[in-house]
Amino acid sequence: MDYVVFDDVCKHYQMGTHTIKAVDHVSFTVDEGEFCVIVGPSGAGKTTVLNMLGGMDSCDSGRILLGGRDISALSDRQLTDYRRYDVGFVFQFYNLVQNLTALENVELASEICKDPYDPQEALAMVGLSDRMFNFPSELSGGEQQRVAIARALAKNPKILLCDEPTGALDYATGRSILKLLHETCKNTGKTVFVITHNQAITRMADRVIHMRSGTVADMYRNPDPVPAEAIEW
């Protein structure tokens, strides 16, 4: 049942003589297909958690399991493959390759995967069929983020990690993006993590993890998630 497991994970950074405990004995579990929101103020360690979960960073102690696989024990090379095949990533600033069209940005991801979605289908899923030949600079922020989501989805990953996906977007667009993510989660059955400092978003989550100062302050299942349209902030 426990698809994603953080078991007593620590991550420390050495800053001169000073040790910063970015993540300090964090443990939580998430079930498959859940829409999980990790919420907390800046410096709470939520991004570090996301990094470790996404295979971009390693933990100093504890274990991280995905579908029973111990990610924390993987080598760099294995981590790269893990990111390549198992993780989809949505950035706050979209991180599209400016020199490639929307479709090509999606292809960029699908090209390196084992069982990808068709890039055009992926773009259709995010509602961008008619803009797929445009360059990022020709798209609005929401559209760019949709492209980014399509790029993440096209890889057909096990989990979708979204780092402040609405952070650079206006309210309405942000809400539509959240809706898209939610729908994606429900329609594809993928486990989705959204990291945010926006408490409002927790209302639409299946599971909420509150973080503070590198520790899990609170973790609970939301028995009654509301649709994105209903959220206001």
Specify the stretch interacting with other proteins by CB under 8 A; choose among 17-25, 61-69, 85-93, 217-225.
Answer: 85-93
Q: Residue-wise over 159-187: b if at least 16 C-beta within 10 A, else e?
A: bbbbbbbbebbeeebbbbbbebbbebbee
Distance CA 32, CA 189 (A): 8
Distance CA 188, CA 190 (A): 5
For 22, 47, 72, 200, the CA distances from 51, given in Å and listed in that order, are: 12, 6, 12, 23
**Cβ proximity to other proteins, 111 vs 218, nearer residue:** 111
Cβ burial of 1 (10 Å; 0-12, 13-18, 19+) is exposed
What count of other Cβ atoms lies within 10 Å of the Cβ of residue 149? 26
Specify the stretch interacting with other proteins by CB under 8 A; choose among 16-24, 97-105, 180-188, 198-206.
Answer: 97-105
- Per-position x/- string for 134-153, each x denoting binding to other proteins as judged by CB under 8 A, each - no binding: -xxxx------------x--
| Smallest distance, other proteins to C-beta of residue 67, A | 17
| Smallest distance, other proteins to C-beta of residue 20, A | 14
Which residue in the set 11, 51, 174, 208 belongs to the binding site for other proteins (CB under 8 A)?
Answer: 51
Which residue in the set 12, 21, 74, 91 belongs to the binding site for other proteins (CB under 8 A)?
Answer: 91
Residues of the shown chain interacting with other proteins in the complex, contacts defined by CB under 8 A: 47, 51, 54, 56-57, 77, 80-85, 87, 89, 91-93, 95, 97-101, 104-105, 107-109, 111-112, 135-138, 151, 155, 163
